[in-house]
A and B are shown apart, each in its own frame.
Chain A
Amino acid sequence: MDDSRKYLDPKVLSRLSGLALRARLVVEGYVSGVHRSPFHGFSVEFAEHREYAPGDDLRYLDWKVFGRTDKFYLKQFEEETNLACHLLVDTSESMTYRGPAAAMSKLDYACCAAASLAYLILHQQDSVGLAAVDRDIRALVRPSTNPSHMEQIIAVMENTVPEKKTALGPIFHELAGRFDKRGIVIVLSDLFDDIEGMVKGLKHLRHRRHEVVLMHVLDPAELEFPFDQTTLFRGLEQAQQAIVEPRALRRAYLEEFNGYLRRLKYACRALRMDYVQLRTDQSLEVVLSSYLASRGRR
């Protein structure tokens, strides 16, 4: 492993103070090797065609191709100088969870990923903004291409105190109204909310022609339920609590949780959104690079 990459391990990152340093390590350690932006925008320099999907801007239909093939293809361009990326970071209380196997909480991990993406985007001279949300919009940073904008984004994330429940559906609706410039919306959340409500909000975003990427931040304990002692589980966002013999309930819990994941992924596919699962015990480098690489291949 390259020396620079080893610092991308969450355990190492968690020991670094300051999101700016973490983001720089993540991006410069690996992403800097990528010479072409994986975030495709709209440019004068044609890159490739993409099949039309309902909702796409008809201005970019390649009528010549249509004339030849009777099929709708959109023209895509190599560079986008006016890419606007909106980072939505869930700062609800559930994001503070940190399981026994994780090096950092979900919120720390989400912030780290958001900062890395912001660094990367600013590095490409694109604009990036940030919204810290729970059931309200706690902070909103408008997209900007100014490199000093990074400091503001990081400051917002570092100063936000998680204390409320998640209610992402209404937030998506509200932000869909606020984001006047079409762009990419990257949601970093554990998405522990009503799926139906979230889907309606996401549909609104999609309706406003935003590309949406759901980065589902999960703790490995939530995915595996590895406990083996009788435990009193106290809800982080709910007042409820339960004494549970984990071994007896593991299967039922996992069935329930995986069902939720399936419904979520199904909704993402239906809305043609990218779904990226971020496990807080995984290296950000691996997750981001593999996702960005897959985007780059599109």
Chain B
Amino acid sequence: MPAPFPYPLAFGFMNLPLLGWLAAAAAPLLIHLWMRRKYREAPWAAMEYLLAALRRQSRRLHFEQWLLLAVRTLLVVLVVLAVAEPYLERPLLSLAPPGQTHRVLVLDGSFSMAYQPADQTRFDRAKELAREIVESAPAGDAFTLLLMTAPPQVVVSTPALAADEMAAEIEALRQPHTTADLPAVIPRIREVIEAARRERPRLARQEVYFLTDLQRAAWAPRVSKAAEEELRRQMGRLAEAATLMLIDVGQPAADNLAVADLRLLTAPAIAGRTCRFEATVKSFAAQAATRQPVELLVNGRRVAQRHVDVPAGGEATVAFEHRFDRPGDHAVEVRAESDALPVDDRRYLAVPVRRSVSVLGIEGRPSGKPFGGASAYLAVALAPGDEPGVSPPVDVEVAPESAILERDLSRYDVLVMCNVAQFTAGEADVLSAYLRGGGSLVFFMGDQVMPERYNRELGPAAKEGNRLLPAALGPVVETPEGRLDPLEYRHPILEAFRGAEHAGLLAAPVLRHVRLEVPDDTSARVALRLPGGDPLIVEQPVGRGRVVLVATSADTSWTPMPLLPSYVPLVQEMVAFCLADRMAGRSILAGEPLRGIVAAAEGWTSVEVRTPEGDRREVRLSGLGNQRDWTFAATWQSGVYAVHTAAPDEQEQRFAANVDTAQSDLAQVGLDRLRGEVWPGIPFEYKTTWQEPERPQPMALRGGPGRLHVVLLAAALLLLLVETFLAWRFGYQTQP
């Protein structure tokens, strides 16, 4: 980008570094001084008359000398300035206020801008208008460019003067599939304006152009009163700093149908077993849609089709079934019939299909006797027998505590800690990384458990990042007699027991438990309470996994529950609940960052992300050790992203990025409402087309790069002729 001269000069230069050659302007003076030292000597008799002539002509000679020097210096200066390609940032001869304006172009990047009522999308129309603004602006105006997305994108942050380069930047913009986050974009606009004011003080005027479809969901979001007030205040401050212009590219009435949700009902997906999916199709239209075809595609291949009736402004669900033949990550897509806004007619799901579920039981007190250890009961409860279709096949391994550090935990879906006395700081780090990678933990208590050590390494007293436990561990107490409280079966773990009160779960006696203290301000939820009110099962999401904390033992030492029939479904539901969240990190909204953890081998520095458009991007790994993090933020498009790790352990993970159908409603906010309710008292101009307003134009010395330097070169040529004439006229040069 060209760099300007500081205020108050009216010029900027395309090739600012070339101005260093201005030092060459000293050359005529240096040559003059050098010539003074280079002369011949001669005796002279008529010195009196020579000196008299010199005295008489001294002033004239000096004048001629300085005139020639000035002409020669100016000649060099003009040539250097011409080569540096100057441009006028404001008209020199205009009596009007300085015409340099910083124009901030803010294009609405929400997916609703992909609406295509005719041969052009709203986003294309916005780009066209943005180009018109740039190309019709007076020379010297500067431009910055932002995309109103979530999060906002600053595409050109430094004020650009070259209209053609700016037009190319606009042309290169691709329609994002995110929502428009107006509250987030306003501070970014102000940052850009403030930075431009600091760096380019001559940009006296600021104008912010919102090229948008004025979607109600974006411009009048349903937020709290306080948030609404804050947004109004932010917009007011922006209006004080700049002239606001809303350029409407939307249509007042626009119907839309969207696939609002797609869920896998039978998580986890196991190869060879039937998976059930449910999609929600939502209408944002005044007319009901009947027999709308909805397709299920797996890895891009259509595998099922249904028809659905969607009431006007309502929604309908569609169920699909599919059996995955092989394990691995699969891309699932539900597609409704394409309308004028095809972006939200598709919903994606990345489904990791497993051969089986792997559970590792960590035995705190290993025993050689049958059912001598707590994990033996778990193993039986999780894999009671081969009952296809009833429960997923579970591979249970039992290992001592040392396995936490020795084994590659990423191979396991769930780790169950049974009566483990304590954890070291190193073990806590490993477990924390395991949770970030999507694994889940289940803790059972026992007589070896040292509550204070749990609290110190994993609980409230642990270091930031390692506070995994959903509750602080208190003392071991005797459990009062009575029935368990299922808390109305609200928790998914207990949902299966709803309507089966006689299954014996609630009557299961618990003799002893660790008193759990659940903090108020966390996301921890109590699934089941003991008689007396103490929590028995508490869980919370941690990282991309979950932690379930059970206040009593997994074996019969503190409770006879493992011997009761309800123990098997309770444990299985716990594991299923943990596994259900393993897919949570695989689905994001477009614009949110993708994150993952890989067990990196030595020498790995990056993973490769393939976007839905087919672009391949390299993403560098961060962190140290075997568990390395990666983050990919450029998820502006909806679709399936594939992440490849390098050979030899090549594997592909898939992630689904979907649009936020909360903004699928294409209704506009309306100009009257915007002026009256949303932004009362905030001045802005409203337009639907663009025409550069007439401004006083100076008669001469205007022009961008490519015109002014020609004038300078012509002036240099003229000076060259003047210099030749003067040199001939004066002789030169004389020093008294």
Residues of A bordering B, CB below 8 Å: 94-97, 106, 190, 192, 219, 222, 227, 229-238, 240, 242-250, 252-253, 255-257, 260
Contacts and interface: CB of A to CB of B under 8 A. Distances in A.
B64 interface: yes
A222 B49 CA distance: 10
A217 to B, nearest CB: 11
B731 A230 contact: no
8 contacts: A230-B733, A233-B43, A245-B735, A248-B734, A249-B61, A253-B49, A253-B50, A256-B49
Interface in B54-68: 54, 56-57, 61, 64
A237 to B, nearest CB: 7
Contacts of B17: none
A257 B731 CA distance: 20
B45 interface: yes
Contacts of A106: 45
Contact of A234 (B43, B52, B64): B43
B699 interface: no
Contacts of A235: 43-45, 47
A255 B57 CA distance: 11
Chain B: number of interface residues, binned into ranges: 20 to 34
B44 A233 contact: yes
A232 B43 CA distance: 8
B36 A97 contact: no
Interface of B: 35-36, 38-54, 56-57, 61, 64, 730-736
Contacts of B49: 253, 256-257, 260
B45 A236 contact: yes
B40 A243 contact: no
Given A230-B38, A230-B39, A240 B45 contact: no
A231 B42 contact: yes
Contacts of B39: 229-232, 243
State the 5 A-B residue pairs at the shortest beta-carbon distance, nearest first.
A247-B731, A235-B47, A248-B731, A97-B45, A252-B53
A219 B43 CA distance: 13
B704 to A, nearest CB: 44
Highest count of chain A CB atoms <10 Å: which of B45, B48, B733, B735: B45
A244 B734 contact: yes
Nearest to A228: B731
Contact of A244 (B38, B45, B50, B730): B50
A211 B53 CA distance: 34
Contacts of B48: 192, 238
A233 B49 CA distance: 12
B47 A245 contact: no
A255 B731 CA distance: 17
A243 B56 contact: no
B41 A231 contact: yes
B42 A234 contact: yes
A96 B44 CA distance: 10
A97 B56 contact: no
Contacts of B730: 248
B80 to A, nearest CB: 28
Contacts of B47: 233, 235-238, 240
A97 B42 CA distance: 10
A245 B732 contact: yes
Q: Which of A95, A249, A250 has the most CB of B within 10 A?
A: A249
Contacts of B736: 242
Contacts of A234: 41-44
Nearest to B61: A248
A248 B64 contact: yes
Given A192-B46, A229-B40, A234-B42, A242 B731 contact: no
A257 B46 contact: yes
Given A97-B43, A230-B733, 5 more contacts: A231-B40, A233-B50, A243-B36, A247-B732, A248-B731
A97 B53 contact: no
Nearest to B736: A242
A267 B42 CA distance: 31
Nearest to A92: B45
A227 B40 CA distance: 11
A256 B45 contact: no
A249 B35 CA distance: 17
Given A249-B734, A256-B49, A230 B35 contact: yes
A217 B325 CA distance: 127
Contacts of B52: 256
Contacts of B735: 242-245
Contacts of B41: 231-232, 234
Contacts of A246: 731
Contact of B43 (A229, A236, A250): A236
Contacts of B733: 230, 245, 248
B64 to A, nearest CB: 7
Given A230-B35, A256-B52, A256-B53, A245 B734 contact: yes
Contacts of B53: 249, 252-253, 255-256
A252 B51 contact: no
Contacts of A255: 53
A107 to B, nearest CB: 11
A44 B278 CA distance: 161
A54 B731 CA distance: 51
A92 to B, nearest CB: 9
Given A231-B39, A248-B64, A242 B45 contact: no
Nearest to B60: A252
Nearest to B64: A248
A260 B61 CA distance: 22
A250 B734 CA distance: 11
A235 B43 CA distance: 6
B731 A192 contact: no
Nearest to B733: A245
Given A229-B39, A234-B42, A244 B731 contact: no
B734 A233 contact: no
Contacts of A230: 35-36, 38-40, 733
B734 A94 contact: no
A97 B52 CA distance: 19
B54 A249 contact: yes
B224 to A, nearest CB: 87
Q: Among A96, A240, A252, which residue has the most Cβ atoms of chain B within 10 A?
A: A252
A242 B54 contact: yes
A235 B49 CA distance: 11
B63 to A, nearest CB: 12
A252 B35 CA distance: 22
A229 B40 CA distance: 7
B357 to A, nearest CB: 101
A100 B51 CA distance: 21
A134 to B, nearest CB: 13
Contacts of A249: 50, 53-54, 57, 61, 731, 734
A248 B61 CA distance: 8
Nearest to B56: A252
B617 to A, nearest CB: 70
A124 B64 CA distance: 60
A232 B731 contact: no
Nearest to A223: B46
Nearest to B42: A231
A11 to B, nearest CB: 21
A232 B732 contact: no
A245 to B, nearest CB: 4
Nearest to B36: A243
A219 B44 CA distance: 11
A232 B46 CA distance: 14
A95 B68 CA distance: 38
Contacts of A222: 45-46
A237 B734 contact: no
A240 B61 contact: no
B472 to A, nearest CB: 98
A245 B52 CA distance: 15
A262 B35 CA distance: 36
A105 to B, nearest CB: 10
Interface centre among A96, A233, A253 (most CB of B within 10 A): A233
